[in-house]
Amino acid sequence: MTVPSLLEEHDVTDMTSTLTILEPYPGIYAYFDGRVAGVRLYSEASNWLDDGAYELGVASYAIVDSREALVYDTHISLDHARAIRGHLEGLGVTSIRVVLSHWHKDHVAGNAVFADCEIIALKLTAERLADNREKIEAATPPIQPLVMPNRLFDGKLALTVGKRQVELHHFAIHSADGNVIWLPDEKLLLAGDTLEDSVTYISEADQTATHVAELKRLRQWPIARILPSHGDRDRIAGGGYGPELIDANRRYIERLTDTLSVGAAVGRLKEFVAEEIAAGAILYFEPYETVHQSNIERVQAVLATS
pLDDT tens track, the chain, 306 positions: 333 333 333 333 479 999 999 999 999 999 999 999 999 999 999 999 999 999 999 999 999 999 999 999 999 999 999 999 999 999 999 999 999 999 999 999 999 999 999 999 999 999 999 999 999 999 999 999 999 999 999 999 999 999 999 999 999 999 999 999 999 999 999 999 999 999 999 999 999 999 999 999 999 999 999 999 999 999 999 999 999 999 999 999 999 999 999 999 999 999 999 999 999 999 999 999 999 999 999 999 999 998
Task: Domain of residue 16: give its range.
Answer: 2-200+225-242
CATH number of the domain residue 7 falls in: 3.60.15.10
Question: Nearest CA to 225 among 214, 205, 239?
Answer: 239
Quote the CA–CA distance of 105 and 74 in Å, as a whole number. Answer: 10
pTM above 0.75, yes or no: yes
Q: How many domains does the chain have?
A: 1
Residue 247 lies in a domain: no
Confidence at residue 306, expressed as pLDDT on a 0 to 100 scale: 82
Crossing angle for the helix pair 208-219 and 244-261, to the nearest 10 degrees = 150
My answer on whether omega of the bond before 141 falls inside 30° of 0, hence cis, is: yes
The DSSP code sequence of 198-216 is: S----S-GGGHHHHHHHHH
The DSSP code sequence of 53-71 is: IIHH-EEEEEEEETTEEEE
The CA-atom distances, in angstroms, between 176 and each of 36, 51, 208, 220, 298 are 30, 23, 11, 20, 16
Residue 206 lies in a domain: no
Do the strands 20-25 and 68-72 form a parallel or antiparallel pair, or are they unpaired?
unpaired
Quote the CA–CA distance of 200 and 174 in Å, as a whole number. Answer: 7
Confidence at residue 1, expressed as pLDDT on a 0 to 100 scale: 32
Residue 293 lies in a domain: no
- What is the CB neighbour count within 10 angstroms for residue 205? 20
Residue 66 lies in a domain: yes
Residue 219 lies in a domain: no
Residue 213 lies in a domain: no
State whether residue 127 is helix, strand or coil.
helix
Residue 254 lies in a domain: no
* Sequence-separated (6 or more) residues with CB below 8 Å from residue 200: 173, 174, 193, 211, 249, 252, 253, 295
Residue 54 lies in a domain: yes
